[in-house]
Amino acid sequence: MTTATNRVKIFDTTLRDGEQSPGATMTHDEKLEIAELLDLMGVDIIEAGFPIASEGDFRAVSEIAQRSKNASICGLARANYKDIDRCWEAVKHAAKPRIHTFIGTSPLHRAIPNLSQDEMAERIHDTVTHARNLCEDVQWSPMDATRTEWDYLCRVIEIAIKAGATTINIPDTVGYTAPRESADLIRRLIETVPGADEIIFATHCHNDLGMATANSLAAVEGGARQIECTINGLGERAGNTALEEVVMALKVRHDIMPFTTGVDTTKIMNISRRVASASGFNVQYNKAIVGKNAFAHESGIHQDGMLKNAETFEIMRPADVGLAGTSLPLGKHSGRAALRAKLNDIGYEVGDNELMDIFVRFKELADRKKEVYDEDIVALVQAGAPAS
Ligand code: KIV
Ligand code: ZN
């Protein structure tokens, strides 16, 4: 039974769904490098691309498949034999290959190929069977699952399981779900669909309403044992579930979410920076876990607290995500404790009166400047020193 384990697989799709974000295209070498970092950090499955999409995607997926040491390497394929065959050609040399095939099952998506429910059901049966004849590890996704009629969703999932799918992914393609629904949906599917307890359910959330992380964690509570996510939450529109957020949430709140992943969290910052530079998508300053300000404190009360006990304002240690340390940038909200700490840091021991004097001039400067740098502090000290 899949829910008997508390180990949650991390399926990274930075190189597929992440790269589908308009403007995020990466070069071949960048993709290989990111795949290597993902493999080393311990993700379970790397969705390396969409092999039929272009010659370049095919080459990237097949090279990643040949190089990867630990993770399963997965390619995406629509529900047709040509896509699936091309996908298999790309992933087949991996130590652990996976084919991921999908079709849009909601009424809106069924209308596009103009298939009836029965015709689509037959297509799912045939294409999953075909994929399974090629590869032992087959993932199937009913795209827009969260807007698919309940009875039809159960029906097509059962067909995919019987045809040999080993993972059923439940995409919230347009980020429409709310956390309680996300948990209930997976729980009810596991209870209802025959054969559901033989396979793994995955959750694949988009962030249109800013709920992708919450929805993914709720799905795990409902019984999902694979989270699909991307580094920095890169992805179409408002992005996908951010890998760093779900992995750190499961680590930090293990007390109420007793699930584990295989990710070495100390590698998070490095890969976050690499994905930001390769995709050209800068990380917002206040982004959870990897934003520039995620471990920075400017206000006097916070800095004073941090200097006395880091747990006052930090629930994770910077080292846990691969950061050297907390930063206490000096600005107009900073207090004397942080100024003294900075002075000591850059080699000045000052008495209380001198500190007060520098502090007054520091505040004047901080009112004019967003951030006060070490050089500014040195200048303030020197300007106050008696002329020799
Ligand atoms: O969001 C989505 O539905 C997808 C599928 C291809 C799994 O990315
Ligand atoms: Zn997606």
**CA of 141, closest atom in ligand 1:** 7
Reading phi first (left if > 0) and then psi (alpha if -120 to 50, else beta), residue 42 is in left
Q: Which residues line ligand 1 (CB under 6 A)?
A: 17, 102, 141, 143, 169, 171, 173, 204, 206
How many angstroms separate the alpha carbon of residue 268 from the centre of ligand 1? 24
CA contacts within 13 A on the Cβ side of 69: 7
pLDDT tens digit at each of 388 positions of the chain: 567 899 999 999 999 999 999 999 999 999 999 999 999 999 999 999 999 999 999 999 999 999 999 999 999 999 999 999 999 999 999 999 999 999 999 999 999 999 999 999 999 999 999 999 999 999 999 999 999 999 999 999 999 999 999 999 999 999 999 999 999 999 999 999 999 999 999 999 999 999 999 999 999 999 999 999 999 999 999 999 999 999 999 999 999 999 999 999 999 999 999 999 999 999 999 999 999 999 999 999 999 999 999 999 999 999 999 999 999 999 999 999 999 999 999 999 999 999 999 999 999 999 999 889 999 999 999 987 766 5
Q: What is the pLDDT, as a whole number, of residue 158?
A: 98
Provide the annotated binding site for Mn(2+): 17, 204, 206, 240
**pLDDT score, position 388:** 56
Tokens of 146: 């969260």
Kindly give the number of the ligand 1 atom that is closest to the alpha carbon of 240.
1
Out of 16, 78, 143, 229, give the residue to mutate to test ligand 1, the one with the largest number of ligand atoms within 8 Å of its CB: 143
- The pLDDT score that the predictor gives to residue 387 is 62
Q: Give the distance (Å) from ligand 1 centre to CA of residue 327.
A: 38
What distance, in Å, lies between the first and last C-alpha atoms of the chain? 80
Mutate to test the pocket of ligand 1, among 15, 112, 173 (most ligand atoms within 8 A of CB): 173
CA of 36 to the centre of ligand 2 (A): 22
312 C-alpha to ligand 1 centroid (Å): 40
Ligand 1 probe mutation, 12, 15, 17, most atoms within 8 A of CB: 17
Distance of alpha carbon 46 from alpha carbon 160, whole angstroms: 22
ipTM reported for the complex surpasses 0.85? yes
CA 205 to ligand 1 center in whole angstroms = 9
- Which is the closest atom of ligand 1 to the Cα of 206? 1
286 CA to middle of ligand 2, Å?
24
Does residue 246 contact residue 268 with C-beta atoms inside 8 Å?
Answer: no
Which residue's CA is the closest to the ligand 1 atom numbered 5?
A: 143
Query: Which pLDDT value is given to residue 201?
Result: 98
Q: Please name the residue whose Cα sits nearest to atom 8 of ligand 1.
A: 17
Counting ligands in written order, the one closest to the CA of 235 is 2
How much is the pLDDT for 370?
A: 86
Distance 173 CA to ligand 1 centre (A): 6
226-243 exposure pattern, b = at least 16 Cβ within 10 A, e = fewer? bbbbbbbbbbbeebbbbb
